[in-house]
Amino acid sequence: MMNKLIDGSSISRYMQASLSQEIESFKQSTGVTPGLAVVLVGDDPASAVYVKSKGKASVKLGMHSSTVVLPQNASRSEVLNTVHRLNENTDVHGILVQLPLPSHLDANDVIDAIRPEKDVDGLHPANAGLLALGRPRFVPCTPAGILELLKSSDIKTSGKHVVVVGRSNLVGRPIATLLSSKGEPGDATVTLCHSRTKEIAEVTRSADILIVAIGQPKFIKADMVREGSTVIDVGIHRLPESEGSGLCGDVDFEAVSKIAAAITPVPGGVGPMTIAMLMHNTLLAAKLLHR
């Protein structure tokens, strides 16, 4: 059972150790310390935990870290002014606005305001457009982390049928684009499923590699997975007290792990990779601004 686990925590640690060395040599050669600024609007407890991990990782790797916390009722202009200020701050190379934003704010409006050269989330239309054209600059962190997990686990994608469940700009759309692009990892035949997909179990059962980012706890059951396939679970949810208050993903891990040949756990699968790739993108942003 253990040999089929894709251990994102240890792959992420390995990547961060190598990034830490790269950051040190960048600092030595340029005199510049890469800096990441994270903007958190509101008091969503899960977002606060993620933002804290991002700050901690940047400091651990030798980068500057700053977090701007705005209240739940922050106005559009307060948020945009914060982004404009960070765009102009030369100590800040990467800007990330934690999503989701409170419902009175339009995420597109805020993302559009980020200077594309500092958009380490890869969500600005300029970066999403480059990715769609096969010329990626900043690859969104979770899809980038999934590619690294597949590479590190020696799971080939060329000619495979990849089924992606979920069509978000953060995960579903970019990973579908990346894995259908030329080269390895890539060269896959990709099917993108979503809430309106008919007979979704039939589609997911045809996957060699199933990537799930639908945002619903334990959505993928054992009968939706082909024996011997690879399953990548992007979801993370807190279970109710009646079920032990632990974490679970979008995949029913206990049942599906008996069928899959390889599977990511939650926690310890995709999550830590997202952080590693954010650190990678922040260093890349500093390199692009100081070349």
Q: Which of 7, 16, 119, 121 is catalytic?
A: 121
Three-state SS letters, 205-226: HCCCEEEECCCCCCCECHHHCC
Q: Which of 7, 54, 119, 250 is catalytic?
A: 54
Q: In what order do the strands lie in the sheet with 35-41?
A: 64-70, 35-41, 94-97
Question: Cβ of 5: how many Cβ atoms within 10 Å?
Answer: 17
Choose between 262 and 269: whose C-beta lies nearer to ligand GUN. 269
The angle that helices 8-30 and 45-60 make with each other, rounded to 10 degrees, is 50
Q: With binding defined as CB under 6 A, does residue 274 bind ligand GUN? A: yes
- The 3-state DSSP class for residue 197 equals coil
- What is the signed CA dihedral for 19, 20, 24, 30, rounded to 10 degrees? 40
Give the H/E segment covering residue 262. strand 262-263
Q: Which amino acid is at 61?
A: L
91 is an active site residue: no
The residue within the footprint of ligand GUN, chosen from 119, 121, 208, 250 (CB under 6 A), is 121
**Which residue's Cβ lies closest to ligand GUN?**
99
Q: With binding defined as CB under 6 A, does residue 114 bind ligand GUN? A: no
d(CA 105, CA 67): 19
Q: With binding defined as CB under 6 A, does residue 113 bind ligand GUN? A: no
Q: Provide the mask over 33-72, with x wherever binding to ligand GUN is found by CB under 6 A and - wherever it is not.
A: ----------------------------------------
- Binding residue count for ligand GUN, defined by CB under 6 A: 9
The residue within the footprint of ligand GUN, chosen from 51, 96, 213, 276 (CB under 6 A), is 96
Q: Which of residues 122-181 bind ligand GUN (CB under 6 A)?
A: 141-142, 170
The CB-of-97 to ligand GUN minimum distance in angstroms stands at 6
Residues assigned a catalytic role:
54, 98, 121
Which residues here bind ligand GUN, judged by CB under 6 A?
96-99, 121, 141-142, 170, 274
